[in-house]
Amino acid sequence: MSPLTGTVGVLALHAQHDDFVEDDLLATAEGRLRAAGRSVAVLRSTRGARTAAEWEPEIRDWVARHDLDVAVILRAWDRALLDSVRGALRGGARLVRLGSRPSALDDAFDAVVDVNGLLELLEGRAPLPARLPASAAEIRSLRLVEPDPAVASTGRPTIRGPAVGCPFLADVRKSAPFRDLPLERGEVQTKGCSFCLDNIGAYAQPPEHAVLESWLRQARAIRAARPDVREVLLVDERPHPTLPAFFRALEAEPALHGLEVMFKSRVDWLFEHEPALVEAIEAARRTGSVVHAYLVGFESFDGFHLELFNKGVSVEQNVAAIAKLRELAARFPDAFEFRKYRAHGVVLFTPWTTPAALRENARVMREVRFDELRSEALRTRLRLQPRTPLHALAERDGLLCASFDEGRTDRAIEQGYDASTPWRFREPSVEAIFRAATQLGALDRSLPEPDVLDAALDLVLAAPGLAEAPELAPLPLLQAAREGDELGVRRAGDAALLSLIATRRGRLVRRCRVAEGAEALARAYRACGLNARAFGDDVVVAGDEAELTPPVAPPPLPSTLRSGVRLGDVRLLRVIAEPEAHALVLEPARAVRVRAHDGRPYALRYGAWAIDVDDPTTLEGREKLAIRALVAHLARGS
């Protein structure tokens, strides 16, 4: 190999503006390259709300403009993005990923190396493959290269190390889901959480004074480069024991006052190290600083998945940990934070997820008000990485596949992590539930996520045919939610089931409100086991003995029915024209439909449920009076 003497491009790419992905390894590489006299160009770019088609030209143009010998990337989540970068490189240039753990897209790179390997590559030597240390003894023998926080100063400043690895080293092979699965220690990471590659299977931590010295040195460099910075991300798997000494040390350094130190924690460590946390919070308060638990790994409120993830905690411990976080926040409102970013760990969807597990998660999440701790929990799904026990289990169970479905892309693309291995659900109905829940949740983010999940479960379990057409599963929910918003009805789940209770002679007409169109909505209703047909923008849903004929417009309402009129002791709020009926919105949030066909001119709707008025036994007292008053108005107007 010939030496590469031209410019090295360091590409710090992010999918989201407000993520917790560190670039300090890139910063270390940049510092080492400059120290070696190399020409370095740095691109820091975030996709944000832009589409890939809008973002990629910016990266491609930058690469071409700098005429690079080597392009270095830390994370790769999209093959098309890598192809775009490679296409902009001149002939003979190299595309390199910086890292030591496997990724699903490693075949797209010329080399996967650590910082030393990158320097060897540039010198014309064949770099040794990046390798993780295999033991705590090997970790202790390594010379720590401190990242320069000032170099990484354009993102969230980071304090890292000097501890290496994770002290949670429970052997996955002793957990029930993996006992019959042959896992070779050299090929699969068998220690710690079964989905995690951050755990290298060993842990080494220097004495407290060395840890403290390292943290303070990095904090001083951060404040020197950015005097106004407040938030600092602390990358240490178990910083709890050293936090009190760190915040006490800040008292003697006014230039470091007012730091908000963000750390992550296992659930059980919140209890094991509670005295240290309290001591750290009290010390932080004296300097106007904040102890911020931004990420606690709850992962699930279903016992099977906690065992599957090898978390070593129970659902009850998860619930108790949430109570503990709230207790600390109430006790130290100005010095402890845990809700700001709503980024705590949960994974609702895995290849092994069942409807029962989702129902249990929804129940507990509602009880503990988990929406305060996590946003968009419905979108969370397993990122399956090579060398993890869960990857081996999915392979054995036949749940790996060639590519992700269009309706459920790689979660890594959304978050900006390394690409993961495509997988499918063992139970097909869960795919339909996932799509229905995520699309309804995206339509109205004010809806509580446990309610959205329950609505999707109710629909798909009541209509098993949707499991065979998961792309159609969201449509009845989206249609019902949009109708419900118009009628002031918030029960989207019940509304979606309206079509499922049509009588054999019953007939419903829906004005299509989904972007996919009336024909797609009709197919969705047919997948629910109903008769449905699209007529223009309308969809007619009918029982077995009813005809699928075009909608018939109702006669005009009498002028006596106008906004503000009282029907018994119920007030008429407004009138909405529907394809085959007049919808009269009553207070509170009820709708009376007036139709003129099939011998049933009146129907009362309780949010989701359509009930014939000529069956008065189903009506409550106020509704009976309202219907009588409505009939009187209609009679006077005829």
Q: What is the largest CA-CA distance in the chain?
A: 96
User: Which residue has better confidence, 197 or 430?
Assistant: 430
Q: What is the pLDDT of residues 37-93, one digit of tens each?
A: 889 998 888 887 788 788 889 999 999 999 999 999 887 777 888 888 999 998 888
- Predicted confidence band at 400 (pLDDT cuts at 50, 70, 90)? very high
Q: CB within 8 A of 488, min separation 6: which ones?
A: 573, 585, 589
- Tell me if 221 sits within 8 A of 255, measured CB to CB: no
* Fold of the CATH domain 8-131: Rossmann fold (3.40.50)
Which burial class, exposed, middle or buried, applies to 227 when counting CB atoms under 10 A from its CB (0-12, 13-18, 19+)? exposed
- pLDDT for 617 beyond 70: no
Q: What distance in Å separates the CA atoms of residue 118 and residue 601, rounded to the nearest whole number?
A: 78
Label residues 19-37 b or e (16+ Cβ within 10 Å = b). bbbbbbbbbbbbbbbeeee
- pLDDT for 493 beyond 60: no
Q: What distance in Å separates the CA atoms of residue 228 and residue 207, rounded to the nearest whole number?
A: 31
- pLDDT for 138 beyond 50: no
Q: CB within 8 A of 135, min separation 6: which ones?
A: 202
Domain boundaries defined on the chain: 8-131, 427-551, 566-637
Q: CB within 8 A of 129, min separation 6: which ones?
A: 112, 113, 117
Q: What is the pLDDT of residues 557-615, one digit of tens each?
A: 777 777 888 877 777 877 877 787 777 777 755 566 676 655 544 555 444 344 444 44
- Predicted confidence band at 618 (pLDDT cuts at 50, 70, 90)? low
The token pair that represents 495 in the structure block: 């509304």
